[in-house]
Amino acid sequence: MGFTYRNERLFAEELDCEAIAEEYGTPCYVYSRAAMEAALAQYHQALKGCEYLVCYAVKANSNIAVLDTLARCGAGFDIVSVGELERVLAAGGDPGKVVFSGVVKRPDEMRRALQVGIRCFNVESAAELEVLQSVAAELNVRAPVSVRVNPDVDAGTHPYISTGLRENKFGVATDAAMALLRRATTMENIHITGLDCHIGSQLVDMSPLLDALQQLLLMVDALQAEGIHIRHLDLGGGIGVRYRDEEPPAVADYIAAVREALGDRDLGLVFEPGRSIVANAGVLLTRVHYLKETDAHSFALVDAAMNDFIRPALYQAWVDIQATSPNDAEPRLWNIVGPVCETGDFLGKDRELALASGTLLAIHGAGAYGFVMSSNYNTRPRAAEVMIDGNKPYLIRERETIGDLLRGEHRLPQ
């Protein structure tokens, strides 16, 4: 669904990607509405009959058209900044379905979140809890709180996106979390509602997720014995996707295993999926400008760069790169590289492709952690974003102009 090849030409739903690139230029992010809706529906389907909330992790792709699409399908949102909260509100999302994660929530961010009435703060330290108590007291409200537990499990993913190990900055170790929860019950403006964890991203094995769940359940039972009732468990995001040949767990299997582990406990469930909702609902289109042969390599020089899509450079991520239409050239191994002045600026290495100057390429799996991580490095305007819905394209973010880039900068007085 979403992106398919018809007679060797790539289609985004009902539209030929060549036509989309003609219309909107390159580099250009293209998303499929149907693909993201289908990915979200898998969560809803697997959670039928439970008390639950699927809080899409806004950071994976925060365009307000994406948020709007998911909100209309019943999604809540996991945010990590007040900026993301404002996006959710601008997209028509329900603040009552928002959970707020992140290790540094400033008092002004807490204030805004309390004013709009979010579902829950996922608190990550004792110091944060004290500040939240005082902000809530100022507003004369009670802040709903979940404590983020760091279960010290190895998610087995790239170190930069592994978050559930003792040495990581995230969450509170189990013993300290128990102490924090006891303290929280004595705070007038704090209302404990849940426990949460998020151990990492692009997990291709569900056993670390289930290990973390077991630790949360032990805590739930121990707290119950002390008279502290936990109402929901938030298991974060992290389910991986297939970029190449990974075999991530099916959402249905993972959630079935979670439901089984809960037994007959009276617990609501929250999930915070990001990547598994949007990664394969997007491609980045980029055009080959020059072909360049050196003694060591054949380079295809394209108009997208690490500033547009940083995952290969930052995480050594492998993403599928394919031509969007057939071509007479002899297939050979190419390094696909962009215009940025860094050797680390590559999108893919040693890819067997038939390329000519002008070939349009699709970088697959670019719907998550793509546009949102783009920058203006080398004074490159950020790409356009287009959402396809059936046979209709919608420009959901205009390509930046150089004027946009210079706005807010000032020369010194003469």
Ligand X SMILES: *Cc1c(COP(=O)(O)O)cnc(C)c1O
Pairing of strands 172-173, 143-150: parallel
Instruction: Quote the distance between the C-alpha of residue 252 and its chain's center.
Output: 19
- Which of the residues 17, 28, 120, 341 is marked catalytic? 341
Give the tokens for residue 82. Answer: 């007040």
Rule CB under 6 A: which of 199-218 touch ligand X? 201
d(CA 233, CA 231): 7
Q: Is 128 in the site for ligand X (CB under 6 A)?
A: no
55 is catalytic: no
Which range touches ligand X (CB under 6 A), out of 224-232, 274-282, 290-298, 397-405? 274-282
Measured CA distances, 267 to 91, 116, 117, 258 (Å): 29, 25, 22, 11
290 is known to lie in a ligand binding site:
no
Least distance between ligand X and beta carbon 249 (Å): 13
**Binding mask of the shown chain, residues 303 to 322, with x at each position contacting ligand X by CB under 6 A:** --------------------
Site string for ligand X, 64-103 (x = CB under 6 A): --------------x----------------------x--
* 63 touches ligand X by CB under 6 A: no
Query: Which residues is 76 bridged to in the sheet?
Result: 55
Is 249 a binder of ligand X (CB under 6 A)?
A: no
Q: Which of the stretches 86-94, 273-281, 382-390, 396-404 binds ligand X when contact is defined by CB under 6 A? A: 273-281
Q: Do you find a cis peptide bond into 159, omega within 30 degrees of 0?
A: no
User: In the chain, what is the straight-line distance between the N-terminal and C-terminal CA atoms, in Å?
Assistant: 59
Nearer to ligand X by Cβ, of 236 and 249: the residue is 236
Rounded to whole angstroms, the Cα distance separating 377 from 305 reads 10
Count of residues of this chain found to bind ligand X when the rule CB under 6 A is applied? 15
Residue 348 in the binding site for ligand X (CB under 6 A): no
Residue from 276, 307, 335, 374 in contact with ligand X (CB under 6 A): 276
Of the candidates 65, 109, 28, 55, the one whose C-alpha atom is nearest the C-alpha of residue 385 is 28
Residue 272 annotated in ligand binding: yes
Beta carbon nearer to ligand X, 274 or 282:
274
Cα distance between residue 260 and residue 86, in whole Å = 36
Under the binding rule (CB under 6 A), the answer on residue 367 touching ligand X is no
Known binding residue 275? Answer is yes
Task: Tell me if 243 is assigned to a ligand binding site.
Answer: no
- Which of 27, 273, 282, 348: binder of ligand X (CB under 6 A)? 273
Nearest-angstrom CA–CA distance, 198 and 162: 9
296: which residues sit within 8 A by CB, 6+ positions away? Answer: none
Mention every residue, 6+ apart, whose C-beta is less than 8 A from residue 392: none
Q: How far is the CB of 408 from ligand X (least distance, A)?
A: 29
In this structure, are residues 84 and 105 in contact, taking their beta carbons and an 8 Å threshold? no
Going 243 to 249 to 253 to 256, the CA torsion angle's sign is negative
Q: Which residues are annotated as a binding site for substrate?
A: 275, 311, 315, 342, 369
Positions touching ligand X (CB under 6 A) are 57, 59-60, 78, 101, 198, 201, 236-238, 272-276
Binding site for pyridoxal 5'-phosphate, by residue number, is 238, 272-275, 369
Which residues participate in catalysis according to the annotation?
341
